[in-house]
Amino acid sequence: MSIMNGTNISGAILDRLADELGALTPEARKAATYVLENPQDVGVSTVREIAQAAQVKPNTVVRMARQVGFEGYDDFREPFRDEIRNGTVSFPDRARWLQSIGANGELGGLYADMVGAMLANIEDTFGNISETDLKAAAEDIWNSRQVFTLGVGVNNANAQNFTYLASTGMSQFHLIPKVGSTAVDDLAWADSQDVLIAITCKPYRTEVIEAVKVAREQGMKVVGISDSPASPIIVGSDHGFIVAADTPQFFPSSVTTVSLLETLLSFVIACGSSEIPERVERFHTRRHQLGIYKDAE
């Protein structure tokens, strides 16, 4: 028999499961972790299917369900199935959701404002970027000899994350400026065979603008990411992408920049060699072998 009632039953169950995570045995924790990360699978999967996906025994899944107050897996699964039947397994209606969290005092209002701004930024950004635009940029990146990624300030972390992810499967990506160097020096020997991915939003950083200028003079392809079509790194770029970065706070939002970079990288991989997924797998297998990752107990 279910222990919970309400409009978001499965969400409440997942919250309870997360609270109990530390009290579970290592095997039951593996099952719970899978459920928390893949809740959409619960309503359509048998106990054996969940167990197989989580790499545990079916009895372990049953014990996990009992830990949060259910008689067994079928009882645990039923609220998830009900939400599928009722068509309620989806993102919440945004307006109603934001209104509900905004009603919870001052911090609730801030929460609603931040989330609303981020969702709107994503829509504004990707609503104005086409698959064709991304494909053209990805093909130039894939066909280049070297790719230099440039971001300073908050965008240094965004550029670094993009370069790190790309480097797990490809070797031609370089984050600039390098330690102890300047961006323009790092581009000294780059030419028409190379690509510069440059990121800056208002107020625009001088060193990024100067590096883009040098890149153009040397014949490099430029992928510009900024928050205005009038940005000095967008005007004249081979591929210009405008990101919405509005936020109620004093700092610009990086949500759309990160999302765009991840999407662009996915297009590069799609346009690239079939060897890339194999190389990424070898990269992570090596890390497991060297003990860099902690494997599940």
Same domain, 118 and 134: no
Same domain, 156 and 270: yes
Per-residue pLDDT tens for 177-228?
999 999 999 999 999 999 999 999 988 999 999 999 999 999 999 999 999 9
Same domain, 145 and 263: yes
Same domain, 240 and 116: no
Same domain, 163 and 194: yes
Last residue of one domain, picked from the residues 59, 85, 111? 85
Q: Domain for residue 277, yes or no?
A: yes
Last residue of one domain, picked from the residues 30, 56, 85? 85
Q: Domain for residue 199, yes or no?
A: yes
Q: Domain for residue 293, yes or no?
A: no
Q: Domain for residue 115, yes or no?
A: yes
Q: Domain for residue 2, yes or no?
A: no
Output the DSSP codes for 34-78. Answer: HHHH-GGGGGG--HHHHHHHHTS-HHHHHHHHHHTT-SSHHHHHH
Which pairs with CB-CB distance under 8 Å and at least 24 residues apart come from 48-55?
Answer: 54/30, 55/30, 55/296
Domain extent at residue 101: 94-124
Q: Given this model, what pLDDT does residue 132 score?
A: 94
Q: How far apart are CA 248 and CA 60, in angstroms?
A: 46
Inter-residue contact 81 to 210 (CB < 8 Å): no
Same domain, 113 and 219: no
Statement: the pTM of the whole predicted model exceeds 0.85 = no
What's the domain count of the chain? Answer: 3
Residues with pLDDT less than 70, the chain: 1-9, 84-106, 250, 273-274, 276-280, 283-284, 287, 295-297
Q: Given this model, what pLDDT does residue 295 score?
A: 66
Per-residue pLDDT tens for 79-96?
888 776 665 554 445 555
Same domain, 168 and 257: yes
Same domain, 162 and 50: no
Q: How far apart are CA 127 and CA 236, in angstroms?
A: 22
Same domain, 33 and 98: no
Same domain, 247 and 135: yes
Q: Domain for residue 3, yes or no?
A: no
Q: Domain for residue 4, yes or no?
A: no
Q: How far apart are CA 236 and CA 163, in angstroms?
A: 24
Same domain, 36 and 81: yes
Same domain, 282 and 144: yes
CATH number at residue 79: 1.10.10.10
